Amino acid sequence: MEYRVYELLHVLEFTSSRKRMSVIVRSPEKQLLLLCKGADSVMFERLSKEGRLFGAETRVHINRYAEAGLRTLVIAYRELEEHEYRRWEEEFSKAKNSVTADRDALVAAAADKIERNLILLGATAVEDKLQKGVPECIDKFSRAGIHIWVLTGDKMETAINIGYACSLLRQGMENIVITLDTPEIEALEKQVDKEAVAKASLESVQMQITEGRSRIPSDKNNPVKFGLVIDGKSLDCALGEKLSNMFLDLALNCSSVICCRSSPKQKALVTRLVKGTGKTTLAVGDGGNDVGMLQEADIGVGISGVEGMQAVMSSDFSIAQFRYLERLLLVHGHWCYRRIAMMICYFFYKNITFGFTLFWFESYASFSGQPAYNDWYMSCYNVFFTSLPAIALGVFDQDVSAKLCLKFQPYSFYAPLRPEVLTTSAWQYPLLYQEGVQNILFSWLRILGWMSNGILSSIIIFFFTTNSIFNQAFRTDGKVVDYEVFGVTMYTSVVWVVNCQMALSINYFTWIQHFFIWGSIALWYLFLVIYGSLPTTFSTTAYMVLVEACAPSLLYWLTTLLVVVSTLLPYFFYRAFQVRFRPMIHDIIQQEGLKDQDTETSELPARVEVKMHHLKANLMQRNT
C-alpha cells in the first residue's frame, strides 16, 4: 500500500457565520492545494466559472439529500500558486497575530480572500439523528401551550424535514415559506449591485410577509394551523427596523416557526425580538452557535454533548439530553413556580396576621406605645416559630405528582387546543403548566387575597382573644388576666394559626413537614418554659408566665382552641367551595389522581368534566 503524505500548512477554522472551513496543504508533488467544505449557500457562490461543471447536478443531489433530512456539505478545492500563497500567508499571519478587537473579522476577511474561484468536487450527506424522545417532548410542549421556535443553521429543506420529524410541522398544516432564493434575486446578485439587491430583497420579504399574514384568518376558531419557515437571508431583512414588527406579528400568529440558515447573531436577535413582547423566553442549544441566544433568553438551557461545552458554560441550566427538558419544565418548572408563588403569598400572610394583631392592640391601648408582646417573642417570630414550615413549602411542596404532571392521554394529534372542539379526551395534563404561563398563582388578585386573609385572621384572633379572656376570672382562684397573660394567649393563637394555615395550604406531607409545622408550635411552648424560668431581669414579662399563669388555666387552652378553629374556618370554607365549585386546574388533577389511586380507571366524573370544560374555555378567553 502506498501512502501519500500531505503537509498541513494552515487551517481556516469553521465559524457559524462563515459556514465553511478550509485547509491548505502541500501535496507530495509540492503542489499547494486549498480544500474547502461548507454549506451549499456559501460554497456555490465561491466557485469559479470553470469550477461549476457539475453544479446543477450537485444541487439536485443536495436538495434530494436535504429533503431526506440529511445534513449536507459541499466540497471544493483550488490549486494555489507559490507566490500567491506567500503573499496571502503574510496577510493572514498579520491578521492572526493582531491583538485588536476586530481580530476575528480580519482573520475572516483574510480567509475570504483565498477561498475563492474554487472548483467543485462534490457533496456529502450525513444523517444527523434526532436525539431520543425529541418528537414526543416537543409534542407535549405544544400541548402544554408553549410556543416553539426552531432556530437552526441548517438548510431549509433539512430544517423542514426535521420539523416534520419532531412533530413541529404536521400534515394538514399550512406552511408559509419566506425565502430569497428566487430567480429574480439571484439574477440581481450576479450583477453585483449590492444596493439593488438589498432593496429588492427588502421588498420581496415585505411582500411575502404581507402575503403570508393575509393567509391567516383572523377568526381564531379556524382549524387550520400555520407553520412559518424563513431562511437566513430573509431573516436579515425581517429583523431590520422596518419589517421586524410585521414579521413578529406574522410569526406570533403561526403555531410553529422555523428559522433556517440563521447565524448565531440572528438567533440572539430573534430571541430578543420575542422577549420584547413581554413573553418569557427559554432557549435550548448545544453548540457554540447557540451561545448568544442562550444568553439573550430569559432562561438558557445548555445541552452537554458532542458539540463541546460552550453552550453549557453560558447557560443557566444544563441537561444531558433534550428530552430531559420535558421534566425540567413540566414537572420541576411547575412545582418551582407553585412553591415560590405560594411561599411569597404565605410570607405576606403570616407577617400581616402577626403585625395586625399588634396594631389592633395598639389602637385598643389608645396608641400608647405599649406593645402586646414581649420583645423576644417578636424577635423570634420570624426566626423560630414560623420560618421552617415556609421553607419546607418552598422546597418540597408538590401539588400533583410528577407522574400526573406529565400524564398524557393519546388523542388525535391535530385537535387544536381550543375550547369549542375540546372534549374530555382532549384534556391534557401538560396544560397544568398554563397555571405558570398565565401567572395564575401569583396574580395580584391572589396576593391581595392572601393579604386580606391575613388581616381577617388578625381581626378574629384579636377580638376573639380579648372577648374570651377579659372581664372574667381567668383561673379557679378568681384571678383575672393581666397584660402579660393576654400577650402570651394572643401570641399562642397567632403561632397556632399561621402554622395550621400552612398545614391546610400545603399538598405534600412527609415527616419533614410534620416535624417543622408541629415542631414550630412545640418550640414556642418550650421557649416560654425556658425563657420564663430565667431571672426576671432577663425574662421580664415572661417570667414563669406559662408554667404558673397560663398552663394551669383551662381558659387559656380553651381560648387557644376557639381562636384557632374560628380563624381557620373562613379559609377552610373558601377552599372547600373553590374545590367543589370553581376548581383550579391542579385541583381537578389532584382529584383525578386520587380517583386513579382508588379505581385505576381514567374516566372523569361528569361534574369534573364540565368544570374542566368551563375552566379551559376561561383560560382560552384570557389567552386571546
* Residue 36 vs 528, nearer CB to ligand ATP: 36
Q: Where would I find the H helices in 156-276?
A: 156-165, 183-190, 194-215, 232-238, 244-252, 264-275
The correct pick among 10, 12, 25, 37 for binding ligand ATP (CB under 6 A) is 37
Rounded to whole angstroms, the Cα distance separating 525 from 67 reads 74
Which of 310, 188, 280, 174 lies closest to 229, judged by CA?
Answer: 174
Rounded to whole angstroms, the Cα distance separating 351 from 340 reads 17
* Residue 71 vs 613, nearer CB to ligand ATP: 71
Rounded to whole angstroms, the Cα distance separating 245 from 248 reads 5
- Report 136-195 residues binding ligand ATP (CB under 6 A): 152-154
* Residue 37 vs 46, nearer CB to ligand ATP: 37
Q: Which long-range contacts (CB under 8 A, 24 or more apart) does 529-533 make?
A: 531/376
* Residue 286 vs 587, nearer CB to Mg ion: 286
* Residue 310 vs 505, nearer CB to ligand ATP: 310
* Residue 39 vs 176, nearer CB to ligand ATP: 39
- DSSP codes of every residue in 127-177: E-PPPTTHHHHHHHHHHTT--EEEE-SS-HHHHHHHHHHTTSS-TTPEEEE
- At residue 231, what is the residue type? D
| By CB under 6 A, residue 133 contacts ligand ATP | no
- Give which of ligand ATP, Mg ion, none residue 19 binds (C-beta under 5 to 8 Å, depending on kind): ligand ATP
Residue 396 near residue 338 (C-beta atoms within 8 A)? no
* Residue 58 vs 289, nearer CB to Mg ion: 289
CB 152, min distance to ligand ATP, A: 4
* Residue 261 vs 339, nearer CB to ligand ATP: 261
CB 311, min distance to Mg ion, A: 10
Extract the C-alpha cell encoding 436.
405558570
- DSSP codes of every residue in 538-597: HHGGGTTIIIIIITT-HHHHHHHHHHHHHHHHHHHHHHHHHHHHS--HHHHHHHHHHHHH
In three-state form (DSSP H/G/I as H, E/B as E, the rest C), the secondary structure along 415-469 is CCCCHHHCCHHHCCHHHHHHHHHCCCCCCHHHHHHHHHHHHHHHHHHHHHHHHHH
CB 264, min distance to ligand ATP, A: 7
- Residue of minimal Cβ distance to ligand ATP: 153
Residue 281 near residue 267 (C-beta atoms within 8 A)? no
Rounded to whole angstroms, the Cα distance separating 448 from 455 reads 10
CB 149, min distance to ligand ATP, A: 12
- 388 CB contacts (<8 Å, ≥6 apart)? 516, 519, 520
CB 16, min distance to Mg ion, A: 7
Supply φ then ψ for residue 131, to 5 degrees. Answer: -65, 165
- Give which of Mg ion, ligand ATP, none residue 213 binds (C-beta under 5 to 8 Å, depending on kind): none
CB 201, min distance to ligand ATP, A: 20
CB 38, min distance to ligand ATP, A: 4
* Residue 287 vs 371, nearer CB to Mg ion: 287
The correct pick among 14, 470, 538, 573 for binding ligand ATP (CB under 6 A) is 14
Rounded to whole angstroms, the Cα distance separating 538 from 532 reads 9
CB 251, min distance to ligand ATP, A: 18
- 591 CB contacts (<8 Å, ≥6 apart)? 579, 583, 608
End-to-end CA distance of the chain: 71
Extract the C-alpha cell encoding 211.
402575503
The correct pick among 25, 32, 34, 39 for binding ligand ATP (CB under 6 A) is 39
| By CB under 5 A, residue 287 contacts Mg ion | yes
Binding window for ligand ATP (CB under 6 A); candidates: 15-23, 134-142, 333-341, 593-601: 15-23
Per-residue x/- mask for ligand ATP, residues 260 to 299, rule CB under 6 A? ---------------------------x-x----------
| By CB under 6 A, residue 593 contacts ligand ATP | no
- 5 CB contacts (<8 Å, ≥6 apart)? 28
Q: How many helices (DSSP H) and strands (DSSP E) are in the chain?
A: 26, 12
| By CB under 6 A, residue 54 contacts ligand ATP | no
* Residue 21 vs 565, nearer CB to ligand ATP: 21
- Give which of ligand ATP, Mg ion, none residue 20 binds (C-beta under 5 to 8 Å, depending on kind): ligand ATP
CB 202, min distance to Mg ion, A: 28
CB 289, min distance to Mg ion, A: 6
* Residue 19 vs 611, nearer CB to ligand ATP: 19
Positions that interact with ligand ATP (CB under 6 A)? 14, 16, 19-21, 37-39, 73, 152-154, 287, 289
Residue ranges in contact with Mg ion by CB under 5 A: 287
